[in-house]
Amino acid sequence: MSAPVAPAATGDIRAVTLRFGADLAGFRAAVRALVAAQVPPAGVAWAMAAPGGRTSAETERADLFGIPAAAAGTPTDAPALSLPRAVAGLVDLVLCHREPERFARLYTLIWRVLHGERQLADNPADPLVHRLGLMAKAVRRDIHKMHAFVRFKALGMENGRERFVAWFEPDHFIVEAVAPFFRKRFPAMDWAILTPAGTVGWNGEHLAFGPPAGRPHLPEGDGFEEGWLAYYASVFNPARANPTMMRAEMPKKYWPNLPEARLIPGLLEGAPARVADMIAREASAPRKRDPVRAVAAMAHQAPASLAELNALISATPAFVSGGTRAVLGEGPPGAVLALVGEQPGDQEDVEGRPFVGPAGQLLMKAMAEAGLVREATYLTNAVKHFKFVQRGKRRLHQKPTGGEVKHYRWWLDAELDFVKPRLVVALGGTAALALSGETLAVTRARGPRPLGARDGLVTYHPSYLLRLPDETARREAYAALVADLTLAKTLAEAA
Rounded to a whole number of angstroms, the minimum distance from the CB of residue 354 to ligand URA is 4
Strand ranges for 180-274 from DSSP E: 190-195, 198-202, 207-210
Rounded to a whole number of angstroms, the minimum distance from the CB of residue 358 to ligand URA is 8
Residue number, 234 or 463, with CB nearest to ligand URA: 463
Contact 355, 461 (CB under 8 A): no
Could you tell me how many residues of this chain bind ligand URA (CB under 6 A)? 13
Strand ranges for 300-383 from DSSP E: 337-341, 378-381
Rounded to a whole number of angstroms, the minimum distance from the CB of residue 452 to ligand URA is 19
Residue number, 194 or 359, with CB nearest to ligand URA: 359
The terminus-to-terminus CA distance of the chain in angstroms comes to 72
Q: Is 429 in the site for ligand URA (CB under 6 A)?
A: no
Residue number, 26 or 360, with CB nearest to ligand URA: 360
Contact 32, 25 (CB under 8 A): no
Residue number, 348 or 484, with CB nearest to ligand URA: 348
Contacts of range 212-219, beta carbons closer than 8 Å, 24 or more positions apart = 212/20, 212/51, 213/167, 215/167, 218/153, 218/165, 218/167, 218/194, 219/153, 219/155, 219/165
Q: Is 349 in the site for ligand URA (CB under 6 A)?
A: no
Residue least distant from ligand URA (Cβ)? 341
> Residue from 170, 198, 212, 344 that binds ligand URA (CB under 6 A)?
344
Q: Is 484 in the site for ligand URA (CB under 6 A)?
A: no
Residue number, 76 or 381, with CB nearest to ligand URA: 381
Pairing status of strand 207-210 against strand 447-451:
unpaired
- What are the distances in angstroms from CA 274 to CA 279, 281, 289, 317, 481? 9, 10, 18, 24, 51
Which amino acid is residue 92, in one-letter code? D
Residue number, 257 or 324, with CB nearest to ligand URA: 324
Contact 1, 36 (CB under 8 A): no
Contact 153, 222 (CB under 8 A): yes
Q: SS3 of 164, please?
A: strand
Rounded to a whole number of angstroms, the minimum distance from the CB of residue 6 to ligand URA is 55
> Residue from 26, 341, 352, 456 that binds ligand URA (CB under 6 A)?
341
> Residue from 342, 349, 415, 484 that binds ligand URA (CB under 6 A)?
342
Stretch that binds ligand URA, among 256-264, 287-295, 341-349, 402-410 (CB under 6 A): 341-349
Q: Which of 327, 416, 335 is nearest to 374 (CA)?
A: 335
> Residue from 76, 381, 436, 459 that binds ligand URA (CB under 6 A)?
381
The alpha carbon of residue 349 and the mean position of all alpha carbons in its chain are separated, in whole angstroms, by 11
Rounded to a whole number of angstroms, the minimum distance from the CB of residue 351 to ligand URA is 10
Rounded to a whole number of angstroms, the minimum distance from the CB of residue 213 to ligand URA is 37
Q: Which of 261, 265, 241, 239 is nearest to 250 (CA)?
A: 261
Helices and strands in the chain: count of H runs, count of E runs: 18, 15
Q: Is 359 in the site for ligand URA (CB under 6 A)?
A: yes
Contact 423, 486 (CB under 8 A): no
Rounded to a whole number of angstroms, the minimum distance from the CB of residue 328 to ligand URA is 11
Q: Is 415 in the site for ligand URA (CB under 6 A)?
A: no
Rounded to a whole number of angstroms, the minimum distance from the CB of residue 402 to ligand URA is 16
Q: Is 170 in the site for ligand URA (CB under 6 A)?
A: no
Stretch that binds ligand URA, among 33-41, 241-249, 283-291, 347-355 (CB under 6 A): 347-355
Q: Is 400 in the site for ligand URA (CB under 6 A)?
A: no
Residue number, 2 or 347, with CB nearest to ligand URA: 347
Residue number, 303 or 357, with CB nearest to ligand URA: 357
Stretch that binds ligand URA, among 157-165, 242-250, 312-320, 350-358 (CB under 6 A): 350-358
- Residue 104 neighbours by CB under 8 Å, 6+ apart: 41, 44, 46
Please state, in angstroms and rounded to a whole number, the distance separating the CA atoms of residues 150 and 165. Answer: 10
Pairing status of strand 161-167 against strand 190-195:
parallel
User: Binders of ligand URA among 310-339, rule CB under 6 A?
Assistant: none
> Residue from 355, 388, 411, 418 that binds ligand URA (CB under 6 A)?
355
Contact 230, 308 (CB under 8 A): yes
> Residue from 198, 227, 354, 429 that binds ligand URA (CB under 6 A)?
354
> Residue from 227, 331, 360, 421 that binds ligand URA (CB under 6 A)?
360
Stretch that binds ligand URA, among 16-24, 215-223, 308-316, 348-356 (CB under 6 A): 348-356
Query: Following CA atoms 189, 190, 193, 198 in sequence, which dihedral angle do they give, to the nearest 10 degrees?
Result: 140
Rounded to a whole number of angstroms, the minimum distance from the CB of residue 364 to ligand URA is 11
Rounded to a whole number of angstroms, the minimum distance from the CB of residue 327 to ligand URA is 6
Pairing status of strand 190-195 against strand 198-202:
antiparallel
Q: Which of 326, 303, 319, 316 is nearest to 405 (CA)?
A: 319
Footprint of ligand URA (CB under 6 A): 341-345, 348, 354-355, 357, 359-360, 381, 463
